[in-house]
Amino acid sequence: MAKLKIVLATRNRDKIKEIKNVFKDMDIEFLTLDDFKGFPEVIEDGKTLLENALKKAREISKFFNMPALSDDTGLEVEYLGGAPGVYSARYAGENATYEDNVNKLLKELEGVEWDKRKAVFKTIVALVFPDGREFVAEGANEGHITTEKIGTEGFGYDPIFYVDEKGKTYAEMSLEEKNSISHRARALINLKKIIESELF
Ligand code: IMP
């Protein structure tokens, strides 16, 4: 079989590193959107992570006529009825920064006791081929939302997502440690198993 080439439908360097790391022992060449001059801006207007992940992978795959891998992630906070969920990227507004979103979440949970600060990070990954084949996998990680930012690593909600099984936030972990247990790593490992059995 010719070497599998996959376009990553993301420009987030942290995610690209995470993805390449999970698949490093497989004979796959990953291209990123930075390897191309033009690419379509995909509007993430789905009502679920699955809809968004599939939309991104389908549009990028169609545009480049190559297999495309995308992911969509949401942070679901129990006390907030699952919010921000699929709206995690724009929780504090359309052009919100990571910091805006983190501050808003801390504010929404002000005074809420620890036991009610339960949260789960969920990721859906989708690999779509130009011939229409689609593979989807999910990963999750449970934790609590801290009352203040702790740690300096990572991105997004990492400083306030306390991973129960590790006893620290994602932002207190090295990339390797986060990659060994993160919601996205788990989704990617599940996808890897599917690819290994279906394609190789
Ligand atoms: P996306 O679907 O991966 O673009 O992520 C949606 C939102 O969740 C963005 O605001 C990201 O910052 C946040 N997010 C996604 N993955 C992570 C993560 O691994 N740690 C912290 N925040 C994340």
Which residue, 27, 42, 8, 15, is CA-closest to 128? Answer: 8
pTM, entire model: 0.94
- pLDDT tens profile 62-90: 999 999 999 999 999 999 999 999 999 99
Nearest CA to ligand 1 atom 12: 156
The answer to whether 72 is a known catalytic residue is yes
pLDDT band for position 176 (cuts 50, 70, 90): confident
Residues 151 and 168: their CA atoms lie apart, in Å, by: 9
Q: Tell me the domain boundaries of the chain.
A: 4-198
pLDDT band for position 36 (cuts 50, 70, 90): confident
CATH topology assigned to domain 4-198: Maf protein (3.90.950)
User: Would strands 134-145 and 118-128 be described as parallel, antiparallel, or unpaired?
Assistant: antiparallel
Q: How high is the pLDDT of residue 106?
A: 98
| Residue 156 CB–ligand 1 contact under 6 Å | yes
- Determine which one of 34, 45, 71, 72 is catalytic: 72
CB count, 10 Å around CB of 163? 22
The answer to whether 169 and 147 are in contact (CB under 8 A) is: no
Q: What are phi and psi of 30, to 5 degrees?
A: -100, 130
pLDDT band for position 1 (cuts 50, 70, 90): low
Q: How high is the pLDDT of residue 110?
A: 98
The answer to whether 3 and 23 are in contact (CB under 8 A) is: no
